[in-house]
Amino acid sequence: MRLLPILLFLVATLSVNSLSQAEETLSDSVVSKAKPLLKAFSMIGTPYKFGSNNPAKGLDCSGFVKYIYKETADVSLPRSARDMSREGQAVAREELEPGDLVFFNTRKRPNTHVGIYAGNGEFVHASSTRTKQVTVSRMDQKYWATRFNGARRVLPASSPIQ
C-alpha cells in the first residue's frame, strides 16, 4: 500500500508522548510534508481537465499541484509547470523527499508536466494520457524516466532524526 510508509513514519514520529522542542519542530515538519501527500492521495481518480485548477470540474497537472499546496500548506505556486520549476530549491533525484515537486518534458520542451513525489520512486499527478485522471506513476517507468527534468522542494526539508 502506497500510504503505509508515510503513515508509519507519521505514527513513529507523532506517537511520542513527551516531545522536546526539537522533536516538536521535527513533528511539525513531518506533518507539513504529510498533509499535501495525503490530500494528493485522496484525490486519486479526480478527472483530468486541461487548464483547470478546480477539483469539481477536473484538474490538469499544474492545477492539481497548485490546488494541493494552497489547500494544505498555504503555499501559493504559479499556475504553470514551467513557472513552478523555478520555485523553491533544486533537488537532486537521489535526494528526493516525499512532497517534492517533480518535473517532466512531455511536450518536447522542459518542465511541461509536474507531479508530487510520494516516495519509493512514485509520484502523484494529473495525467492527460491513458487514465485521464489523478493517478500514481513510477518514475522508473520508461516513459517518465526518459522525460524527467528535475525536482524542486517548496516545503522545508525534513530534519534528520538523531
In a domain, 50, yes or no: yes
Give the pLDDT of residue 24.
55
Range of the domain at 89: 3-153
The domain tally of the chain equals: 1
In a domain, 160, yes or no: no
In a domain, 162, yes or no: no
Active site (annotated) includes residue 27: no
Active-site pick, 113, 135, 151, 152: 113
Query: How far is 61 from 55, CA to CA, in rounded Å?
Result: 11
Q: What is the largest CA-CA distance in the chain?
A: 52
In a domain, 158, yes or no: no
The 3-state DSSP class for residue 58 equals strand
150's torsion region: left (phi>0), alpha (psi -120 to 50) or beta? Answer: left
Active-site pick, 33, 49, 66, 125: 125
Query: How far is 77 from 143, CA to CA, in rounded Å?
Result: 26
Q: Name the pTM for this structure.
A: 0.81
Give the pLDDT of residue 33.
76
Q: Can you give the CATH number for the domain in which 101 is found?
A: 3.90.1720.10
Query: How far is 77 from 80, CA to CA, in rounded Å?
Result: 9
Q: What is the pLDDT along the chain (162 residues), one digit of tens a residue?
A: 455 555 545 544 444 444 455 445 556 667 777 899 999 999 999 999 999 989 999 999 999 999 999 999 999 999 999 999 999 999 999 999 999 999 999 999 999 999 999 999 999 999 998 889 999 999 999 999 999 999 999 986 554 443
Active site (annotated) includes residue 125: yes
